[in-house]
Amino acid sequence: MLEEVGMAGAGYAVTRYIYAAPDVSLPAGRCLSRWVGYVAASSDEASRRLGRRDIVVSFRGTVTGSEWVANMMSSLAPARFDPSDPRPDVKVESGFLSLYTSDDGTDRFTCGSCRNQLLSEVTRLLKKYKNEDVSITLAGHSMGSSLALLLGYDLAELGLNRDGRGNRVPVTVYSFAGPRVGNTGFKNRCDELGVKVLRVVNVNDPITKLPGIFLNENSRVLGGRLVPWSCECYAHIGVELALDFFKAGDPACVHDLEAYLGLLKCPKMTKVKKQGEDLFSKVTKYVRGQSLHAAWRWQMAAIQAGDLVQALGI
C-alpha cells in the first residue's frame, strides 16, 4: 500500500488491514464491515534510526452512514475489556464500543471483530520483536482517534503492552479532531495505566466537543464537591494542542484534516494546554518540511509526534 501511494521509503511496512462495522441497523440493512485502517511496523533501518521497533496502528475517520449513527450514540456503556477485572466504573461511548467490538461473521474480509483483529496482530508483532525495544504508536482522525484510544486502553488494561523481558511497552495515541470517548473513570484509568495522548483540536470544531456537551469534565464539580452524576460525565484525555481556525465560506473546514495540518505551521493560532512545556515548537519542528503525499502527511506526522510525546514523557 505504501508503494502504491508513493511512500515506499517511509520506513514502515503494512502488516495487516483492519475492518470494522458497528452493530447498527439502517433502513437499507446492516452495513458490512469496511476498511478502517492498518497495522504497520518499522523496517530494520528505520528501527535503527528510531532506536526501537515501532508498531503503528492508523485509523481513518467516519465514512459510512452506520458509522455516523454510531458517532451520535452518546450513551455510556461499561468497557469490561478485562474479564478478570471488569471495572464497571470505566465507561465509554456505546457507538464507539460497538464499532470496536462488534463481529460481522458474514463479511469475507474479517476474522472477528475489529478488536480481535487488532489485539491479534499487535500481539503477534510484539512476540516477533520480543528481544527488541518496542513502542506502540496509535493514530486517528475523528472517529479513528476514538478507535485508537480504545485500543491503547485495551492493550494497557490487559497488560499486553509488554516485551519479551517483561518491560512495559510505551503506548502513545496521536489524535486529530477527536471527540470524547469515555467518562472520568475511563480517563483516570488511562492515566493510571500510562497511556499517553496528544490531542490536536480546532477550538471551533464541534466534533471535539462531543459527546458530553453538558455533562463533561467541566461540570463534574459544583461548589468544590463532586456532583452525584460525576461518573456519567464525559472527559477528554491527555495533552491538548489547540488550533483556532474557521473559514466562513466553507464551515466544513473546521473538521477537515488538511486544514488541521496546515494550521500546525501557524504559531499565532496555536496554544498548548500544558504548563512548563513548549510543546508546539517541538511538534512543528517535526511537522515542518514534510513533503509527503497529501493522503499520508497526517499519518507520518502522527508517527513522529508520537515519538515526541514519548520522549517528553507527557
List residues with catalytic annotation: 142, 205, 255
- All 3 cell numbers of residue 175? 489524535
b/e 265-279 (16+ beta carbons within 10 angstroms → b): eeeeebebeeeeeeb
Contacts of residue 116, defined as CB under 8 A and 6 or more positions apart, other chains included, come to: 103
- All 3 cell numbers of residue 293? 503525499
Cα–Cα distance, 221 to 230 (Å, whole number): 8
| In contact, 310 and 172? CB cutoff 8 Å | yes
Residue 211 carries which DSSP code?
S
Cis ω before 86 (30° cut-off from 0): no
CA 117 to chain centre: 16
Contacts of residue 239, defined as CB under 8 A and 6 or more positions apart, other chains included, come to: 197, 198, 199, 272, 273, 274, 279, 309, 314
Cα–Cα distance, 171 to 148 (Å, whole number): 10
Strand pairing partners for 271? 242
Residue 54 has a CB neighbour count (10 Å cut-off) of 25
Secondary-structure breakdown of the chain: helix, strand, coil percentages, each rounded to the nearest 5: 35, 25, 40
Give, to the nearest 10 degrees, the angle between helix 94-101 and helix 114-128.
Answer: 60
Helix, strand or coil, per DSSP, at residue 191: helix
